[in-house]
């Protein structure tokens, strides 16, 4: 696999032309590759071909000349050494199955989206293994707003795979002076860190919308990280992954930035906007809402205490008012910090 990296013959297909898929397409083109990108939204594909700019999801950043627009998922995936999926978690299964017939043997299936599938309660790697167990899977995650990657602002993320050669291959293909990649063999931890932090970001936004300050946000982030780690370890992840880029790193950026649609959605909810309306106003997928439900159900299944996740889940599904949820969290019986 390593021998492919040194030439122009590395072929990359991208399924999903949202902000992140588009930013990564440009990143790869800047590195000298010619990624082909496709999206289910035919109107978006037509706009990309006409404007050479993703005005809907990544406005103001022109597509680099090396990026090609594919007409079908099969065309994007055909012959690719890396098939990158940048679609919401709830749509990954369908997107993967649509492209899978053209995913060649030995290709790396690289997921960059964050979330847990409702119903099955499976991570993206589990879905990929169920649908096509023969492919090499990798996940890329970390503190990485697409808007800033698109502007070539220095960013650092991690990639994880059970195949060390695949990790190192992805690392070499994506690495640049403004985009640094670390390898991490903990696929489960990388996936769960990137998914669970969206729940805490919703909570941070709700606290902002309610008018609270730094103390409240710091408490949510710190205790939220403890909760993410506790659930992640119970599900087979490594504890140290949650202290890294895909854990605390991604948590910081998502809880503090207005680029974060999870935080923005939370702010609206905290201001009194009903959750469904808040989600519609954001105009893009708010993964934290579906992940809150999936994580709460996983925690119940495995007997893990997740009070913050449960409170946020009950708020976004309309069972609790944010102030009731906050009061419930603050008045729980005292406990040792490391229990």
Q: Active-site residue among 197, 238, 297, 301? A: 197
**Alpha-helical segments (H) within the chain:** 19-30, 42-51, 73-77, 89-99, 124-131, 146-150, 164-174, 187-209, 214-234, 250-256, 261-270, 275-282, 287-302, 307-316, 322-330
Establish how many alpha carbons lie within 13 A of residue 46's alpha carbon, considering only the half-sphere containing its beta carbon. 3
Judged on CB neighbours under 10 Å (0-12, 13-18, 19+), 311 is buried
What does the block give as tokens for 157? 């993320």
Q: Under a CB-based contact definition with an 8 Å cutoff, are residues 95 and 85 in contact?
A: yes
What does the block give as tokens for 310? 């449960």
Q: Quick one: how far is CA 178 from the chain centroid?
A: 20
Whether 197 is a known active-site residue: answer yes
Q: What SS3 class is residue 154? A: coil
Q: What SS3 class is residue 96? A: helix
CB-based contacts of 104: which residues, under 8 Å, 6+ apart? 79, 80
- For β-strands 68-69 and 36-38, DSSP reports them as parallel
What does the block give as tokens for 95? 């997107």
Among the listed residues 177, 210, 162, the one whose alpha carbon sits nearest the alpha carbon of residue 326: 210
What would you measure as the largest C-alpha separation in the chain, in angstroms? Answer: 61
Torsion of CA 145, 148, 150, 154, to 10 degrees: -110
Q: Which residues are catalytic?
A: 197
């Amino acid at each position: 696999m390593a021998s492919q990296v040194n030439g122009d013959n590395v072929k990359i297909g991208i399924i999903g032309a949202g902000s992140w898929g588009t930013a990564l397409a440009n990143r790869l083109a800047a590195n000298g590759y010619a990624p082909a990108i496709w999206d289910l939204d035919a109107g978006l594909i037509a706009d990309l071909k006409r404007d050479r700019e993703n005005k809907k999801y990544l406005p103001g950043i022109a597509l680099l000349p090396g990026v090609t627009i594919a007409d079908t998922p099969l065309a994007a995936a055909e012959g690719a050494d890396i098939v990158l999926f940048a679609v919401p978690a709830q749509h990954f299964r369908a997107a993967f199955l649509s492209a899978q017939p053209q995913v060649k043997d030995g290709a790396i299936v690289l997921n960059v989206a964050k979330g847990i599938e409702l119903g099955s309660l499976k991570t993206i790697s589990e879905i990929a293994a169920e649908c096509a167990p023969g492919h090499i899977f990798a996940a890329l995650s970390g503190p990485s707003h697409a808007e800033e990657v698109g502007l070539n602002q220095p960013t650092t993320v991690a990639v994880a795979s059970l195949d060390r050669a695949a990790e190192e291959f992805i690392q070499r293909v994506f690495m640049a002076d403004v985009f640094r990649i670390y390898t991490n063999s903990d696929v489960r931890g990388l996936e769960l860190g990137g998914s669970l932090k969206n729940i805490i970001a919703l909570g941070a936004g709700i606290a902002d919308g309610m008018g609270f300050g730094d103390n409240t946000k710091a408490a949510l982030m710190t205790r939220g990280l403890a909760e993410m780690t506790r659930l992640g370890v119970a599900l087979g992840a490594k504890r140290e992954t949650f202290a890294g880029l895909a854990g605390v790193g991604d948590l910081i950026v998502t809880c503090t930035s207005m680029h974060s649609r999870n935080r923005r959605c939370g702010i609206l909810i905290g201001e009194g906007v009903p959750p469904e309306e808040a989600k519609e106003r954001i105009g893009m997928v708010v993964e934290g809402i579906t992940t809150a439900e999936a994580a709460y159900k996983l925690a119940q299944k495995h007997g893990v205490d997740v009070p913050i996740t449960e409170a946020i889940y009950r708020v976004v599904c309309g069972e609790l008012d944010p102030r009731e949820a906050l009061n419930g969290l603050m008045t729980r019986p005292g406990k040792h910090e490391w229990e």
